[in-house]
Amino acid sequence: MSKEFYTDTDVANFRECQRLAYQAVTAVAAKLKAGDTERYAAELIDQELKSYGIGRYFHAPFAWFGARTAFQGIDRPFDTRSFPTKLLPPHFGQRFMPTETQLTEGMCVILDVAPIFNDCAADIGYSYAFGHNERVEKALDDLAVFRPLILAGVCKEKTMAEIYADVSVALADLGYENCHAKYPQGVLGHKVGKIPTRFLPRIPVWGFEVSTCLYLAAEEVSRLINPWDNHTALWAEDSRVSADPGLWAVEPHIGVETGDAFGVKWEEIIHITENNAYYLDDALPHVERWANRTAAV
């Protein structure tokens, strides 16, 4: 598997793509009202990004409301324990697509989108409570634990499996269920990179463009050619190698399945180089939330 290295201009484009994605979902969150559906929310995200001049996606907009934010009742599709391929991208599966579920007061909401800007892809997830919900607000605060935990593991050159286990222990200690374990392949994250949109038509497959599938397939093909190559573009519980240099979208997703089920997450990019690792941007909604809460104490 190739190690990816990017110019300062590339990194700036990835950062801008991530910023625009968060700008879009927060703008949509401010517009949503009771009775709106997941499908409508996803359409609004698409419209917002198009107003910024963005029309191509690593994956199209997703929206989940209420118990669906915990993926309640959704089994992991194409579970690798019974299906050996690892070529399928995260979120692959019809049940993850937006539905006609309607928004009501107090519901948890997750808005997730992965746009492409100047051929540079980002993947983000934004969680919030529609109206008053103390349980959701507490969970959003508890998500702060995972950002430094994941980065510290990368800097210590732990394997992705070890970091995955650290996250699992931390969320269990906080009293939450592991919702990202329900993603296809149970991923905590995955690689993002440059997608050559000018040469490939937009052909969506369950929310993903064919160009995305080709990108991830190319990232994985060396595993098929070389049986000694254990590197992977998917950050799963059995990824027993450290994360390669490149850009990784990480998405710890925690939930509660008792009472009114819900789940919350954040998703942002870590840039890993040969001798360093850092989050692309510290001015994101969830980071600013935690900073403001700390300042208020």
Q: Give per-residue pLDDT as tens, 116-170.
A: 999 999 999 999 999 999 999 999 999 999 999 999 999 999 999 999 999 999 9
Residue 2 within a domain:
no
The pair phi, psi for residue 210, each rounded to 5°, is -55, -35
Residue 1 lies in a domain: no
CATH number of the domain at 157, please: 3.90.230.10
* 3 domain-assigned: no
Higher pLDDT residue, 231 or 24? 24
263 in Cβ contact with 253 (< 8 Å): yes
Give the predicted TM-score (pTM) of the model.
Answer: 0.87
Q: At what angle do helices 160-173 and 146-155 cross, to 10 degrees?
A: 150
Q: Do 69 and 221 meet the contact criterion of CB atoms below 8 Å apart? A: no
CA distance 2 to 41: 37
What number is the average pLDDT over the span 269-286?
Answer: 97
Residue 230 has pLDDT above 70, yes or no: no
Strand order in the sheet with 277-279: 234-235, 189-192, 246-250, 268-272, 277-279
Count of structural domains within the chain: 1
Determine, yes or no, domain membership for 169: yes
3-state secondary structure of 171: helix
Could you list the residue range(s) of the whole structural domain that residue 86 is in?
8-296
pLDDT beyond 80 at 74: no
Q: Which residue shows structure tokens 């590339």? A: 10
- At 101, the pLDDT band (50, 70, 90 cuts) reads very high
Would you state the structure tokens that stand for residue 46, as one six-digit string? 């698409």
Structure-token match 């917002």, residue found: 48
210 within domain boundaries: yes
Q: Are 18 and 269 in contact (CB under 8 A)?
A: yes
